[in-house]
Amino acid sequence: MKKGIVIMLCFMGIFSLFGCKIDRPGIKGDNGVGRKGKDNDSGVCSFAYHYNGSIGANSYSFRIEKEEEGFKAYYEAMEYADYEEMETPVEEALLEKLHELYSKHKVYQWDGYNKYATDVLDGWGFSLSYGFNDDQNMSAHGSNATPEGYRDYEKEMLEVIRPVMEKMREEAKRKLIEKGVSGDCQSAYLYFLQKGDSGSDSYTIHIYPFIREGNNNFNVEVKSVSGDIWPEGEYGYSWDETDESRMALDKIDELVRKYDLVNWMYYDEAAEDYNNAEWFQLNIEYQEGRITAMGTKHPEHYEEFRREVLEMMRDHLEKLQDTDDEKYVRYK
């Protein structure tokens, strides 16, 4: 029995030496070159990293390429689809730092790694590649599977490239803000939810006449505990008259321009005590462009916009209540 265990351990050592690592059941694919891999000191001239998030999560790609005028970074992210592909020049020092991590974490041993979990329907994946000045390259890919030491490498690698990605996002956002929005307001989603010490009121407004014309395209849900703006109670409103929806969107557009909400584009900030602050989210679509924002830390003019848009909506719905039109329904 002991002899059999010794033999098995010897085989496991040999498999590890040649990159034939034994994995848990459900993991398929190639471990790569393993300990046969060797570092490359010719210098890095290109780098690429892709993260594929689980269903509904963010996926993004980041790469650095050598061009005639120098090195340039490119970045695309599902979370920032309106930004399209972002780019910026980078110094060679950035590639040198990535090369240091390549050597430190023995990433060269991952060359050819391509493994996936057969027992996971959802999940995440990664793809990594380095290109060198001697025309050599390495690549590794995984789906719910990673080579040994990957997490430590990933943490340090992201610390290196994250500032560059943040810089590109800020520059892309600045350009979108400068461009602004144009044309008529097409739809609006507004959500205000008080939490903890901020209160218990909640307001949800959906207006989308050009998406669901004639089919409950104007919906409002209100829970008023404080009695502020709406009387205490719970309210639900449904409306499918396009002209009335158009009037409400025009009024929202007036407030967007009054408080310059274009500066809220892609705002996403959390308050220090976010469990005791009001959460808000909005998405206002125009013929060209849109304004999206969310968070528990509130941007400039938030309180004024919030009160005016809710008071406007209350007054608008009160007028509709006086009509006999069957298209209007108050259901709470």
Confidence of residue 13 (pLDDT cuts 50, 70, 90): very low
- Could you state, in order of their start, the residue ranges of all structural domains in the chain? 23-179, 182-330
Q: What's the alpha-carbon Rg for the chain, to the nearest Å?
A: 27
pTM summary value: 0.72
Predicted pLDDT at 1: 38
307, 229 contact by CB (below 8 A): yes
Fold of 182-330: Mago nashi protein (3.30.1560)
Quote the tokens at residue 80: 């920032």
**Residue 215 clears pLDDT 80, i.e. is over it:** no
How far does CA 300 lie from the centroid of its chain? 23
Quote the tokens at residue 327: 């298209």
Please state whether beta strands 60-67 and 44-52 pair in parallel, antiparallel, or not at all (unpaired).
antiparallel
Q: Tell me which amino acid residue 332 is.
A: K
DSSP states of 154-166 as a string?
HHHHHHHHHHHHH
133 HSE (CA, 13 A, CB side): 8
Q: Are the folds of 23-179 and 182-330 the same?
A: yes
Fold of 23-179: Mago nashi protein (3.30.1560)
Calculate what percentage of the chain has a pLDDT beyond 90: 71
Residue with tokens 């398929």: 28
3, 90 contact by CB (below 8 A): no
Q: For residue range 22-64, what is the model confidence (pLDDT) as tens digits?
A: 445 588 999 999 999 999 999 999 999 999 987 666 899 999 9
Reduced to 3 states, what is the DSSP secondary structure of residue 302?
helix
Please state whether beta strands 202-207 and 233-239 pair in parallel, antiparallel, or not at all (unpaired).
unpaired
Q: For residue range 101-133, what is the model confidence (pLDDT) as tens digits?
A: 999 999 999 999 999 988 877 789 999 999 999
Average pLDDT of every residue of the chain: 87
